[in-house]
Structures are given as C-alpha cells and as structure tokens.
C-alpha cells in the first residue's frame, strides 16, 4: 500500500513537470500572442462579443427583475458608448484614408448606425426595463447592433487586415485601447 501512494506521488509530480515543460515551450510564442491581442480588429471583435453576451444575458433575465435588467442594460449602454466613441475618433478616420474613393460610404454608414444606436440607448435609459415598450426598443437595438457588427467584421475588418501593416494595426489597437480606458475612467468619475 505504501508503494502505491509513492507511485501516485511520482505520477503526480511527473504530470506537473510535464505541464511546466509544456508551458515553458509556449514562452517564445507569448510576444506574438500579445501582439495579436493588441490588433485593432482583435480588440473591437472582443468588444462585439462582450456586448453580444450582455445582450443574451439581458434577454435571459426575467422581466420582473427590474434592478438586474437595469444593471445589465447600463453595462451594455456604457460598453457601446465607449466602443462607438473610440471607433469614431480613431478607427473611422483611419478607414477613410485606407478606403479612399468608393469605400467612404461604408464609413459614413457606420457613423449613421452609431448615431441610431446611441439615440436608442439614450431613449431606453429613461424607460422602465420591465415594460413592453422597453423590450420593443431593445429588440430594435439588438437588430441594429447585429447589422452594424456584421458590416464591420465582414466588410471593414478584411480591408484592415489586407491593406494595413501589422504594426499599424497594433498602433491603432493601442490607441483604441488607451482611448477606451480614458473614456471608462471619465464615466466612472
């Protein structure tokens, strides 16, 4: 019996050692992973997925739970407002330069879509989150944001990855990240 315990101890430490070795093998890849994480498209896609998850959470929250619904809505509103402002200040001007000629209409459409989303969010902010009227506006918001995200990810992001250097994508990503942090700090104050 004592032997079995000792063997399991050896096995345990063998597995731990293997895990450490596997982790150590990944260390050279960390700079590449970090660089990819700071690309503008990666940061914005992450924002899109986070808001999508919040929307699903909101939809699953029972209507009678007003406080929770209001809290989730505020998270959605704050995330979209910060994301939209950072895109409008940093991404869209860069896209205009990148898309010269015929592509500017997509940028103009994105500005209009942002305004529609912000208007809806501002209207909903003063509504009862348990009401039918709120749910109707929320559904309209959800449809509009899904359309907007689809346009960005399938029309704009491929242009960024095709026409913009990796360094430039990372620079834009860093600027977007910094601007979002600044906006979040201002909102919290």
Contact indicator for 18, 148 with CB cutoff of 8 Å: no
* One domain for residues 57 and 132: yes
DSSP label at residue 63 = T
The reply to whether 109 and 148 lie within a common domain is yes
Neighbouring CB atoms inside 10 A of 74's CB total 14
pLDDT in tens, 47-66: 999 999 999 999 999 999 99
Is residue 84 located within the same domain as residue 167?
A: yes
Q: What is the pLDDT at residue 1?
A: 45
Give pairs for 31-35: CB < 8 Å, separation 24+. Answer: 35/166, 35/170
Counting as low any pLDDT under 70, the low residues of the chain are 1-15, 17-37, 100-104
- Range(s) of the domain holding residue 15: 1-30
Kindly report, residue by residue over 83-115, the tens digit of the pLDDT. 999 999 999 999 888 776 555 688 899 999 999
The total of structural domains in the chain comes to 2
User: Is 58 in the same domain as 134?
Assistant: yes
Based on the fold, state whether residues 95 and 147 are members of the same structural domain.
yes
Q: Is the domain of 93 the same as that of 160?
A: yes
Same domain, 22 and 48: no
């Amino acid at each position: 019996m004592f032997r079995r315990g000792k063997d399991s101890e050896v096995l345990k430490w063998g597995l731990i050692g293997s895990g450490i070795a596997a982790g150590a093998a990944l260390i050279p890849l960390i700079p590449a992973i970090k660089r990819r994480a700071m690309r503008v498209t990666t940061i914005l896609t992450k924002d899109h997925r986070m808001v999508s998850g919040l929307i699903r959470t909101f939809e699953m929250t029972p209507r009678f739970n007003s406080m929770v619904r209001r809290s989730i809505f505020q998270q959605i509103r704050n995330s979209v407002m910060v994301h939209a402002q950072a895109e409008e200040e940093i991404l869209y001007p860069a896209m205009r330069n990148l898309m010269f000629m015929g592509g500017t209409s997509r940028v103009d459409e994105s500005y209009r879509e942002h305004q529609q989303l912000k208007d809806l969010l501002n209207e909903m902010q003063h509504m009862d989150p348990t009401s039918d009227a709120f749910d109707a506006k929320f559904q309209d918001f959800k449809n509009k944001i899904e359309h907007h995200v689809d346009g960005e990810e399938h029309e704009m992001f491929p242009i960024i990855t095709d026409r913009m250097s990796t360094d430039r994508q990372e620079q834009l990503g860093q600027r977007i990240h910094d601007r979002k942090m600044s906006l979040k700090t201002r909102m919290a104050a």
